Amino acid sequence: MNPIDTPATERPKRADARRNEEKLLGAAREAFAENGVETSLEDIARRAGVGIGTLYRHFPTRPALLEAVYLEEVQAICASADEFAGLEPWEALTGWLRLYAGFAATKRALFDELLPYIGQDAEVFNSCKTVIRTTGDALLRRAQEAGAVRPDVTFMDVARMVGGIAVIRMAEQQEIERILEVALDGLRPRPT
């Protein structure tokens, strides 16, 4: 079982309930991307084409919806590593890290909104950190074994660097991309 899957004790949902939940999560993702995490739940229900009661049946509180979107996004960024499996180790790592930068920038608001409700040591954050670290470690280790990345860095070093760059305030997207390229170049081994 994936560390961020739903518990086995949860009853299976009917097909229409699963569809409604998927529509709500999709609508929430879009609304949060367009308008921020303060988007009204009524707007999310309207976007999903369901009533507010349906939203509350699936997500009884705003933090429950935020957590579900956060989990879904973590699963997506980790699953995206498979897209890079056929590439050379350096291209696989840096390609995934560019996606990770986008993830870090957009998910920071979700994290910040959830934090007061569930706390920094919440199981959801620990599980997500573990699965992201596992995914990133595998890509980094492969690049290090190929000699494409210096051996003295850890994935957490890289994740913090990329995440910090992704959320630079007052920077245009092109500036962030350029800074990220410079930082990624710093991962290459240096001649001795």
pLDDT in tens, 170-182: 889 899 999 999 9
Alpha carbon separation from 176 to 52, 75, 97, 107 (Å, rounded): 38, 24, 13, 16
Q: Is the pTM of this model over 0.75?
A: yes
pLDDT of 2 strictly over 70: no
Q: Which residues of 51-84 are buried (b: 16+ CB within 10 A; e: fewer)?
A: eeebbeebbeebbebbbbbbbebbeebbeebeeb
Q: Which residues of 162-192 are buried (b: 16+ CB within 10 A; e: fewer)?
A: bbebbeeeeeeeeebeebbeebbeebeeeee
pLDDT in tens, 89-141: 999 999 999 999 988 887 777 888 888 888 888 888 899 999 999 999 999 99
Q: What is the average pLDDT across 146-152?
A: 96
Give me the CATH topology for the region 62-185.
Tetracycline Repressor; domain 2 (1.10.357)
* pLDDT at position 11: 61
Residue 10's pLDDT band (cuts 50, 70, 90):
low
Percentage of the chain with pLDDT > 90? 66
Return the domain boundaries, the chain: 12-60, 62-185
- DSSP symbol at 119: -
pLDDT in tens, 49-66: 999 999 999 999 999 999
Q: Which CATH superfamily is domain 12-60 in?
A: Homeodomain-like (1.10.10.60)
